[in-house]
Amino acid sequence: MKIAIGNDHAAVEMKKEICAFLEELGHEVINFGTDTGESVNYPVYGEKVGRAVASREADCGIAICGTGVGISLAANKVKGIRAVVCSEPYSAKLAKLHNNANVLCFGARVIGIELAKMIVTEWLNAEFEGGRHADRVNMIMEIENR
Ligand code: RB5
């Protein structure tokens, strides 16, 4: 898969490790994040990841900041984006199975790299179940048109 990744200054090291992990798994990574520790604004990177996914430049996205919260809020402002913050694998898996989340977010100041890898793995490996969940996801997306 082609995966867009974005991060602010709080998540440079975790981003690098997640990129290496994704590439080891055979994915192509498009890096939209900052690569230095200089303070930057997370909305910029959340939007970049969101736009890459919404335009289908990427199949899905991963966005990391200190908590995962701010960058997810920014990504969710892009039409077509369903960004979720996950700090454990169960929610990450269900976020794909039931919610078809297309951007996964987490916090580099909240979880460690091994847990982050487990969260990424569960989310990437899960497939949207459709059916009644598709109806509900469609209801969410219709909110964008009102
Ligand atoms: C940056 O200090 C921090 O606010 C940011 O990484 C993130 O946690 C925001 O939600």
Q: Could you read off the pLDDT of 37-56 as tens digits, one per residue?
A: 999 999 999 999 999 999 99
The confidence score (pLDDT) of residue 116 equals 99
**pTM higher than 0.90 for the full model?**
yes
Residues of the chain short of pLDDT 70, as ranges, are none
What residues does ligand 1 touch, defined as CB less than 6 Å away? 8, 10, 42, 65-67, 69-70
The confidence score (pLDDT) of residue 52 equals 99
The confidence score (pLDDT) of residue 129 equals 98
The average confidence (pLDDT) of the chain is: 98
Catalytic residues: 65, 98
Best residue for ligand 1 mutational test, from 14, 40, 42, 85 (most atoms within 8 Å of Cβ): 42
Residue 42 Cα to ligand 1 middle (Å): 7
Query: Does residue 60 sit in helix, strand or coil?
Result: strand
State the complex-level ipTM.
0.96
The confidence score (pLDDT) of residue 114 equals 98
As a whole-number percent, the residues of the chain with pLDDT over 70 amount to 100
> What distance in Å separates the CA atoms of residue 71 and residue 85, rounded to the nearest whole number?
9
The confidence score (pLDDT) of residue 5 equals 98
The confidence score (pLDDT) of residue 19 equals 99
The confidence score (pLDDT) of residue 80 equals 98
Where do the domains of the chain lie? 2-144
Best residue for ligand 1 mutational test, from 45, 71, 87 (most atoms within 8 Å of Cβ): 71
The two tokens of residue 111 are: 């979880």
> What distance in Å separates the CA atoms of residue 61 and residue 117, rounded to the nearest whole number?
14
Query: What string of DSSP letters covers 17-73?
Result: HHHHHHHHTT-EEEE-S--SSS---HHHHHHHHHHHHHTTSSSEEEEEESSSHHHHH
Assign domain 2-144 to its CATH architecture: 3-Layer(aba) Sandwich (3.40)
Nearest CA to ligand 1 atom 10: 70
The answer to whether 33 is a known ligand-binding residue is no
